[in-house]
Amino acid sequence: MWSVLSLDEIERVLIVTAHPDDVDFGAAGTVANLTDRGAKVTYCIVTDGQAGGFDDSIPRPKMASIRRAEQTAAAAKVGVTELVFLGWMDGVVVAGLELRHELSRVIRQHRPQVVISQSPELNLQRIYASHPDHLAVAQSTVAAVYPDARNPYAFTDLITDGLQPWSVDELWVMGHAASGEVVDITSQIDRKIEALLCHESQHRDPSGMVERVRAWNSGLAAGAGLPEGSFAESFTVVDTR
């Protein structure tokens, strides 16, 4: 059963993804809806996407700076100006205490009601969504939301640094096989596309990418029973209070 989410009471959101552009494929329309309603949205990008792209002439350190700039421009298209880049190496992220510690720090700093991240579950039907970095970041994000960021006895150096425990109300998972909640992004689909097109270094065929994204978000809307011509993004929502 699909349910259309209401965004009106959300004031602070943290979105954690593995790579630049992940948030734009999964949630840029929802982000635009949130910022239009006055919510403060912060992006936390774990890697700089150095292993992405297709131009052999670009040195990998330069690709990292290109992708940070592209993500910053894409964020601006949907009303986001605060981005946290953790600077991990693309392609070799491992779930574990080090990343959980960093993400717990970010959660305590920004104190979001909602954290949005990627799916921690391998999905062989959508292998591109199950990049190992996505899984590792998602698993560490789940652990940071519960129990780490709220536990005063976990990562006690954070309290020494003045960062008090923080409990997130909800975790929204993008790209999960059992997603049952949708956000109507019909009025935001053009801004989502504009955000995705900012990632110029990643698109061999920009028009083909746009066509696929529109078809995917149209299909999600149809599956949720929204009117013909609608677009939607989907999430699994976990109550973490």
Query: pLDDT by residue (tens digit) across 176-233?
Result: 877 789 999 999 999 999 999 999 999 999 999 999 999 999 999 999 999 999 999 9
Phi/psi for 11 (5° steps) reads -110, -30
Rounded Cα distance, 239 and 41, in Å: 19
Tokens, residue 72 = 């910053």
First to last CA, the chain: 23
Measured in residues, the chain has a length of 241
Beta strands in 131-240 (DSSP E): 170-174, 181-184, 232-239
Containing domain of residue 232, as a range? 3-239
Chain position carrying tokens 């690709």 = 63
Query: pLDDT by residue (tens digit) across 118-165?
Result: 999 988 887 877 899 999 999 999 999 999 999 999 999 999 999 999
Contact between residue 19 and residue 52 where contact means Cβ atoms under 8 Å apart: yes
Domain with residue 109: its CATH number is 3.40.50.10320
Measured N-to-C along each axis, helices 206-223 and 189-197 cross at an angle, to the nearest 10 degrees, of 150
Rounded Cα distance, 186 and 174, in Å: 18
Average pLDDT over residues 78-96: 97
Cis peptide upstream of residue 147 (ω within 30 degrees of 0): yes
Contact between residue 151 and residue 100 where contact means Cβ atoms under 8 Å apart: no
Query: pLDDT by residue (tens digit) across 13-41?
Result: 999 999 999 999 999 999 999 999 999 99
- What pTM, to 2 d.p., does this model score? 0.96
The total of structural domains in the chain comes to: 1
